[in-house]
């Protein structure tokens, strides 16, 4: 056989194989499907909290404001460590040095001093100790408590429960749709799901003290953590007859 005719014959065979595969896929691919999504939410008690503290100092010159701030922050960190909080649970969240201005009518603004703000985040793994930690920090020199974030750590079992609820929610929706269409679910073509870490939402606390003031009294600051939500979602494609 001449090469020209051999090439034509080979191309013909390949075309037939390709078309045959396409027909087979079309026959086996389910055409009647229902695609649904489901959501699951459970509420759990938090076991960790992030507390944001701030130290604000003022002085006529920047160096003095910085020195005063560093002295207070070092005292606060030492007190927190002595109370049992690990050093890696005490982190700097922000540091700011800004001039302060006075404004006289008809004159350019004039620098009257400097303000230093040092913000630290303390992770507390014993929820019952949050009030005492706040009181200790304030007594040590903290003059701003900004917010508290509660969340559940190590909650894989709870996440699995939320995902199970999401799958059940998806199936309930699919059953309603199938019944309304006069169909019956006979299988699952595909399924996917995910759970979400409970991103902590801040509780604005905003306890401010006058510069240089401390906390008085022996009563601990009352804190009620409430519950946090763990969410999951699922998407399932059901085959119907």
Long-range Cβ contacts of 88-95 (<8 Å, 24+ apart): 89/122, 89/123, 89/124, 89/125, 90/120, 90/121, 90/122, 90/123, 91/120, 91/121, 91/123, 92/118, 92/119, 92/120, 92/121, 93/52, 93/119, 93/120, 93/121, 94/118, 94/119, 95/119
- The region of weakest confidence among 18-22, 62-66, 123-127, 227-231 is 18-22
pLDDT of residue 207: 53
How wide is the angle at C-alpha 54 spanned by C-alphas 115 and 206, nearest 5°? 110
183 pLDDT above the threshold of 90:
yes
CATH of 48-151 among 3.30.70.2970, 2.40.30.10, 1.20.1070.10, 3.40.50.300:
3.30.70.2970
What is the domain partition of the chain in residue ranges?
A: 30-46+153-199+227-241, 48-151
223 against 60, higher pLDDT = 60
Which top CATH class is 30-46+153-199+227-241? alpha beta
Name the nearest CA neighbour of 120 among 189, 57, 74, 164. 74
| pLDDT, tens digit (0-9, with 9 covering 90-100), for 101-155 | 998 888 888 999 999 999 999 999 998 899 999 999 999 999 998 889 998 887 7
pLDDT of residue 104: 84
């Amino acid at each position: 056989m001449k090469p020209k005719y051999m090439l034509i014959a080979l191309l013909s065979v390949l075309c037939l194989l390709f078309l045959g595969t396409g027909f087979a896929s079309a026959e086996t691919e389910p055409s009647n499907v229902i695609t649904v999504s489901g959501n699951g939410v459970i509420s759990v008690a938090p076991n960790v909290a992030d507390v944001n503290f701030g130290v604000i100092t003022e002085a006529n010159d920047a160096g003095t404001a910085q020195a005063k701030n560093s002295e207070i922050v070092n005292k606060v960190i030492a007190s927190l460590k002595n109370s049992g909080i690990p050093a890696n649970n005490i982190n700097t969240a922000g540091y700011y040095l800004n001039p302060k201005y006075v404004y006289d009518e008809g004159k350019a603004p004039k620098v009257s001093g400097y303000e230093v703000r040092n913000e630290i985040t303390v992770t507390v793994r014993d929820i019952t100790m949050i009030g005492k930690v706040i009181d200790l920090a304030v007594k040590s020199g903290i003059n701003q408590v900004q917010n508290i974030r509660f969340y559940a750590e190590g909650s894989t079992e709870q996440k699995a429960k939320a995902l199970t609820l999401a799958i059940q929610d998806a199936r309930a929706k699919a059953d309603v749709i199938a019944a309304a269409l006069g169909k019956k679910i006979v299988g699952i073509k595909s399924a996917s799901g995910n759970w979400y870490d409970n991103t902590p939402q801040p509780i604005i606390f905003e306890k401010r003290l006058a510069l240089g003031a401390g906390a008085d009294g022996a009563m601990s600051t009352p804190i009620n953590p409430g519950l946090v939500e763990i969410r999951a979602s699922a998407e399932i494609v059901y085959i119907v007859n």
